[in-house]
Amino acid sequence: MRKIIFSVLLAFSLVLISSCSKIMGYSVLLWNIPEKGLQDGDVVPVYIRSNISHVYVIGTSEGKFEVPLWQLTEPVSKSKVNKLKNRYADYSHKYATVALDGLPMRAEAVNTAKQVYRLRKNETVKLLYKVKGQAPMTGGKPLEGEWLRILTSDGTSGCCFSYNLRPFETDATGRRIGGEIQEEIENPNADFDAKLLLTWYPESYKDMIDSNRIDLQKFVPSYCFHLDEESKKLSFKMPKVDKSWEYKGADSTGYNTYQLKDIPIIVTVRKGNYIVVRYTGESGKPEDFNLVTINGDINEILTAEIARRETEYEQLYMYGPKFNSKSYGSLSLGENQEFTWTNNRLVVSSGIISANAKGRGKIENKYFLTKALRTSYDGVLTFKFDGMNKEVNFLYKIEENGLRLEDATGTTIKNSTIYERAISPLVMFFSIGE
């Protein structure tokens, strides 16, 4: 038995030795390793890739050693590695320091693309290669510079516009050769400037998120107050405001209050995630906007709410989609939230549905219920009949054998929420139809 075990271990060891001696491909080094005498742009043989340790094993004249995965390109054959090396040749040995705190690194060479990393001031990055993209605008003119693919010292890669990057070269020892040395210039309003780099939304957005009651008509991602750190363009968009300016700084006018230079805006910082923007428009009358920061991606929050509504309707549709009542007619639901409602004369005669309404239309589930009403109802269905301007709302409940609808005409609706039942409402029950 011992001989068998020994033989297995020996065979396993031979496999490891064999795998370590066989070259799996060749990679281009992306970041200097001065202690090994290696510079970015060097081609090295790769023997092993470990997804557990997140390293490659490479070889040099000094032997084999481990290198983090991000520090090398994906291994390719010897015949292809020179073409890969040429891709990085224009920026061989070229690095840069970051001149602006919070400078974004983006997924694509577009100023509106998703941020993958926020660079720190004086952080060193590796310049990889030039990428095609549209230059950010300032004062109606494109910024000087170009889009570059860059790499951080923790292995994060993305696109960054070069305007706020200060390039320099390195030698084989990793020492800096030339380049501008940035002097630290004291900015008394640095903390305030950093706040402007955040995206500020109407305070009502936070209330909607906290209560899980997102009003799709009011929850508009483009309504915000934001400074683009690359172009220095300050944007302010609200339901009745759509302005942008070149940001030139701000003057402190009192405790936590700042007047923006050449911009008709005063900002008061109330607390970390809450500011008041006082905007004076063409009318000369100032208007205050209470703004907050939002945790999470606002577009993802919006998408999640749309999906929730679709799921809620889908459950009702799958339960039917046809419902019949001897007194109140036949209700049929469609896949695209369309409906037909025939033989509904009693509902019309009660005044709930207009006599001009057609027997078809669209259903929305845009209103919410209080916690108390949620114990008795599943939600609110808003019927929009063809030929009828006014919407018709019903509280609904999926029963064991059908659907219960309750007229919500005359109920109090505030912030897209129904707070109470109507007085003496018409209650209708529909059995599941064929």
What pLDDT is attached to residue 366?
Answer: 94
Q: pLDDT class for 165, splitting at 50, 70, 90? A: very high
What radius of gyration, in Å, describes the C-alpha atoms of the chain? 32
Contact 417, 398 (CB under 8 A): no
pLDDT(36) > 80? yes
Tokens of 376: 């008795």
> Measuring CA to CA, how many Å separate 251 from each of 104, 116, 183, 188, 262?
25, 32, 22, 9, 11
Contact 154, 177 (CB under 8 A): no
Average pLDDT over residues 320-327: 95
- Please report where in the chains the tokens 């605008």 appear, as a residue: 137
What pLDDT is attached to residue 347?
Answer: 96
pLDDT(120) > 80? yes
Average pLDDT over residues 305-322: 95
Average pLDDT over residues 251-266: 88
What pLDDT is attached to residue 433?
Answer: 83
Contact 234, 208 (CB under 8 A): no
Tokens of 402: 């059908």
Laid out side by side, the sheet with 103-106 consists of 115-119, 103-106, 157-161, 147-151, 124-130, 94-98, 165-170, 176-177
What pLDDT is attached to residue 178?
Answer: 66
What pLDDT is attached to residue 188?
Answer: 60
Q: pLDDT class for 274, splitting at 50, 70, 90? A: very high
Tell which residue, 431, 428, 356, 411, has the closest CA to residue 387.
356
pLDDT(19) > 60? no
What pLDDT is attached to residue 377?
Answer: 96
What pLDDT is attached to residue 374?
Answer: 94
Lowest mean pLDDT among 116-120, 135-139, 305-309, 378-382: 135-139
Contact 57, 86 (CB under 8 A): no
pLDDT(256) > 90? no
Compute the distance between CA of residue 298 and CA of residue 214 in angstroms, rounded to an integer: 11
Beta bridge partners of 380: 395
Q: pLDDT class for 301, splitting at 50, 70, 90? A: very high
Q: pLDDT class for 177, splitting at 50, 70, 90? A: confident
Lowest mean pLDDT among 15-24, 135-144, 181-190, 227-236: 181-190
Average pLDDT over residues 349-365: 95
What pLDDT is attached to residue 264?
Answer: 95
Q: Name the phi and psi angles at 148, rounded to 5.
A: -130, 145
Summarize pLDDT for 69-102 with one digit per residue, the tens. 999 999 999 999 999 999 999 999 999 999 887 8
Contact 234, 246 (CB under 8 A): yes
pLDDT(370) > 50? yes
Burial 381-416 (b: 16+ CB within 10 A, else e): bebbbeebeeebbbbbeeeeebbbbbbbeebeeeeb
pLDDT(12) > 50? no
Query: Which residues, at least 6 apart from 398, have a Cβ–Cβ distance to it below 8 Å?
Result: 315, 316, 319, 378, 404
What pLDDT is attached to residue 87?
Answer: 92
Mean pLDDT of the chain: 88
What pLDDT is attached to residue 179?
Answer: 55
Q: Which fold has domain 94-177?
A: SH3 type barrels. (2.30.30)
- Please report where in the chains the tokens 């549905």 appear, as a residue: 353
Q: pLDDT class for 14, splitting at 50, 70, 90? A: very low
Global confidence as pTM? 0.60
Average pLDDT over residues 254-283: 89
pLDDT(305) > 60? yes
Other CB atoms within a 10 A radius of the CB of residue 78 amount to 11
Tell which residue, 125, 129, 127, has the closest CA to residue 88.
129
What pLDDT is attached to residue 141?
Answer: 73
Contact 27, 56 (CB under 8 A): yes
What pLDDT is attached to residue 410?
Answer: 85
% residues pLDDT > 90 (the chain): 67
What pLDDT is attached to residue 6?
Answer: 39
Encode the chain in three state secondary structure. Answer: CHHHHHHHHHHHHHHHHHHHHCCCEEEEECCCEHHHCECCCCEEEEEEEECCCCEEEEEECCEEEEEEHHHECCCECHHHHHHHHHHCHHHCCEEEEECCCCEEEECCCCCCCCEEEEECCCCEEEEEEECCCCCCEECCEECCCCEEEEECCCCCEEEEEHHHEEEEEECCCCCEECCCCCCCCCCCCHHHHHHHCCCEEEHHHHHHHHHCCCCCCCCCCCCEEEEECCCCEEEEEECCEEEEEECCCEEEEECCEEEECCCCEEEEEEECCEEEEEEECCCCCEEEEEEECCCCCHHHHHHHHHHHHHHHHHHHHHHCCEEEECCCEEEEECCCCEEEEECCHHHHHCCCCCCCCCCEEEEECCCEECHHHHCCCCEEEEEEECCCCCCEEEEEEECCCEEEEEECCCCCEECCEECCCCCCCCEEEEEECC
What pLDDT is attached to residue 103?
Answer: 86
What residue segments make up the domains of the chain, in order of their start? 21-87, 94-177, 190-295, 299-432
pLDDT(357) > 90? yes
Contact 174, 32 (CB under 8 A): yes
Q: Name the phi and psi angles at 15, rounded to 5.
A: -65, -45
Q: Do the bridges between strand 360-364 and strand 417-418 make them parallel or antiparallel, or are there none, so unpaired?
A: unpaired
% residues pLDDT > 70 (the chain): 91
Compute the distance between CA of residue 151 and CA of residue 251 in angstroms, rounded to an integer: 36
What pLDDT is attached to residue 234?
Answer: 94
Question: CATH class for domain 21-87?
Answer: mainly beta
pLDDT(180) > 70? no
Compute the distance between CA of residue 53 and CA of residue 49 in angstroms, rounded to an integer: 9
